[in-house]
Structure 1
Amino acid sequence: MTSITLRSLRKEYNGQVAIPNLDLDIHDGEFFTLLGPSGCGKTTLLRMIAGFNSIEAGTISFDDVVINDRSPAARNIGMVFQSYALFPQMTAAKNVAFGLQTRNIERAESIRRVEAALESVHMAHLKDRLPGEMSGGQQQRVALARALVIQPAVLLMDEPLSNLDAKLRVEMRDTIREAQREAGITTVYVTHDQEEAMAVSDRIAVMSMGVVQQVGSPAEIYRNPANRFVAEFIGKTNLIVRDLHQRDGVTTLDLGEGVSVDVTSTIAPGVSGRVQVSVRPEAVRAGGSGLQAEVVEETFLGSHSQIRARLSTGETIEFLEFSRRASLWERGEKVVLQLDTEMLTYFDAETGASIMQGAKL
């Protein structure tokens, strides 16, 4: 297994800064995901690790050995691309074996490793098929086997599931995670899909404009986002603006309509004034006493419904309904919303930075 250390990395394109100054530590054997919107620098960073992109400053180290000057071939990496990049005239087995041939692996060992790699991605039964005779998901499995068979120190994956339909994406992410765990290879995975990242990752780095906004486990990032960008990008959230009040060492949040919450143990000491409150849909429940609202729209999704309601302030709140109602929600229907205050997170109204206890203010 291999650790990856990135220090003070900088990347420019024609004088434009893509990554200004990036530090990152990726641990031995972990599944590490670079997550962010298009243009945030995640693929650029992956290609820098691979050696496909030059760097203007900083260092990339594998196991504390700087590899800046090594060619991609000398870095012992396996790469899985979005486009599969299989040789159309070669069978699945021959595609997988190609990397071993370039490394002069003897025939018997090559056959054994190819069979094992195809088995690990559940493709051994299709080893004699050509890419044109396989589905997109099957081709991606072969591409993964080809990357694994060379037993790389690091596995790099660039949006590998973006060309697949929704059902296949779920199947393939399970296959990728299973194969990575079995092989124990340090893996850096690029995606813009938050659900995909949450499902496969040990840790996630959320990126925006070439800057890492937060690094943590899926649960840490979802439950304790470092700023408003992370809260909005990871899953769905409702953002409402409210006032914090300080009195006699007690901090209270005024939700309106006579509802206030003691947040002394949640908010960093001394913070008051206007704040943004992140309310996940699952933190909202219809019924009881709370905030008055009016249903704007319902989206029925089978196992549950997503309901969007408008508060008296004009702000909209989305919440989930799992119960089986006799009828669907109607536009204009009155509803009272209760918020699970233990699931709320808070941000500075101007900067968007977290003001939770333990956050870097």
Structure 2
Amino acid sequence: MTRIALQSLRKEYAGQVAIPDLNLEIEDGEFFTLLGPSGCGKTTLLRMIAGFNSIEAGTISFDGTVINDRPASERNIGMVFQNYALFPQMSAAKNVGFGLQTRKVPRADAERRIEQALDSVRMAHLKDRLPGQMSGGQQQRVALARALVIEPALLLMDEPLSNLDAKLRVEMRDTIREAQRKAGITTVYVTHDQEEAMAVSDRIAVMNLGVVQQVGAPAEIYRRPANRFVAEFIGKTNLLARDLLRQDEKAMVALGTGTELDVTGLVTPTASGRIQVSVRPEAVRAASSGLRATIVDETFLGSHSQVRARLETGEIIEFLEFSRRSSLWEEGAEVFLEVDRDMLTFFDLETGASIMQGTSA
């Protein structure tokens, strides 16, 4: 296992700054995900760790040793790429064993390790198949086995599931997480898919424009986002601009007719004025009283429906309906909405920074 420390990292391309000044620590055996939109710097950072990209400033350390000048071939890294990168003329077993061959591992030991690696991703029965005879999911399993078989100190994965269909992505992320736990290998995983990140990660670093916005466990990032960008990127949310008023020692927010919230103890003592309230769809439900709204539309998704309603302010708010009926709402129908105060988060309107007590990036 390997502990990674990234200190004051800077990356430029032709004078354009991709990563200005980045600091991160990744623990031994941790499944750590770099999450963000396209162009945020996550793949660039992964390639810097791998030794494929140059570093303009800062240091990368493995277990306390700076490895900036160590070539990629000497970093003992297993890599799983987006496009699998399998040799088309080689069987699954030979693809998996290629790294052992270049390391001159004795044949008997190599065969044992190849069998174990293929078995760990449930591909032992297809060891003689060529990549062209495999599905995308099977090819990705072989690519994962190839990365694991060399017993690397560090496993790097760059958007490994992006070429698979939705069902296979769910199946493969479970396989990846299971294999990583069994091997105990420190893993850095890159994705733009927030659901995927939350499903596999011990911790997540949310990135935007080369800057880490927040680091934390999936539940922490979802429930207590450090800023508006994180709240919007991780899952869905309704953002409502409202006034935070101080009344004696209380902090109050009026969401609308019939709904005034006491947020004392939730927001910082100095916060006041115009703010944004982040309301997750699951924090809203139809009720007998509360915010008055008019149904805009309903989208049936099987296990639940997504319902959009227009508040009296003209704002659209989305909520979830878990009734077994295929349709509950008609366009134009009136509804009252109740909001769970304890599931809300609050941000400064101008900066987008969290004004929740105890939230940190």
Shorter-chain TM-score tier: over 0.9
Secondary structure of the corresponding residue to residue 187 of structure 1: strand
Deviation at 1:360, TM superposition (A): 5.2
TM-score (norm 2): 0.99
Aligned to 1:317, the other structure's residue is in SS state strand
1:265-304: per-residue Cα shift (whole Å, max 9, x none)? 1000021111100000000001221100011111001111
Per the alignment, residue 146 of structure 1 pairs with 146
Q: CA deviation at 1:358?
A: 1.8
Check conservation: 1:245, 1:273, Cα contact below 8 A.
yes
Question: Alpha carbon RMSD of aligned pairs, Å?
Answer: 1.0
Specify the alignment match of 2:354 in structure 1.
Answer: 354
Instruction: Indicate if the aligned counterparts of 2:35 and 2:191 stay in contact, CA closer than 8 A.
Output: yes
* TM superposition shift of 1:72: 0.5
Query: What is the TM-score when the length of structure 1 is the normalising length?
Result: 0.99
SS of equivalent residue, structure 2 residue 9: strand
Q: Which residue of 2 aligns with 1:136?
A: 136
CA shift, 1:326, in A, is: 7.5
Task: Quote the residue 1:335 is aligned against.
Answer: 335
Matched, 1:247 2:250: no
Greater CA drift, 155-164 or 283-292: 283-292
Q: State how 1:1-361 maps to structure 2 within 5 Å.
A: 1-325=1-325, 327-359=327-359
Structure 2 residue matching 1:289: 3-state secondary structure = coil
**Offset at 1:255?**
1.2
Question: Shift of the alpha carbon at 1:352?
Answer: 0.3
**Comparing 144-153 with 327-336, which one deviates more in the overlay?**
327-336
Tell me the percent identity.
78
CA contact 1:36–1:206 (8 Å) conserved in 2: yes
Amino acid at match of 1:168: L
C-alpha distance in 1, partners of 2:280/2:127? 46
Contact between 2:99 and 2:146, CA under 8 Å: does it hold in 1?
Answer: yes
d(CA) in 1 for partners of 2:10, 2:187: 22
- Residues in 1 aligned to 2:303 and 2:160: alpha-carbon distance in whole angstroms: 28
Counterpart contact for 2:258–2:289, Cα < 8 Å: no
Moved over 2 A (4+): 324-328
Counterpart of 1:5 in 2: which secondary structure? strand
The answer to which of 38-47 and 282-291 deviates more is: 282-291
Offset at 1:324?
Answer: 2.7
3-state SS of paired residue (2:168):
helix
* Residues 224 and 359 in structure 2, CA contact (< 8 A), matched pair in contact too: no
Secondary structure in structure 1 of the residue aligned to 2:171: helix
Work out whether residues 295 and 334 of structure 2, in 8 Å CA contact, stay in contact via their aligned partners in 1.
yes
Write the distance in 2 (CA, Å) between the matches of 1:283 and 1:299.
18
Conserved 8 A contact 1:298-1:305:
yes
**Measured at CA, do residues 326 and 115 of structure 1 come closer, stay the same or move farther in structure 2, by a change above 3 Å?**
closer
Q: Structure 2: which 5+ residue stretches go unaligned?
A: none
The one-character-per-residue Cα deviations of 1:143-165 (angstroms, maximum 9, x if unpaired) are 00000000000000000000000
Aligned residues: 361
Give the counterpart letter for 1:62 in structure 2.
F
Rounded to whole Å, the distance in 2 between the matches of 1:178 and 1:258 is 49
Moved more, 106-115 or 253-262: 253-262
CA distance in 1, matches of 2:77, 2:122: 22
1:114-146 alpha-carbon deviations (Å, 9 max, x no partner): 000000000000000000000000000000000
1:327 positional shift: 4.3
Measured at CA, do residues 327 and 193 of structure 1 come closer, stay the same or move farther in structure 2, by a change above 3 Å? closer
8 Å CA contact retained: 1:246, 1:270: no
Unaligned stretches of 5+ in structure 1?
none
**1:174-223 CA distance string (max 9 Å, x none):** 00000000000000000000000000000000000000000000000000
The answer to whether the 8 Å contact 1:251/1:263 transfers is: yes
1:71-92 superposed Cα distances (whole Å, 9 cap, x missing partner): 0010000000000000000000
Structure-2 separation of matches of 1:107 and 1:325: 61
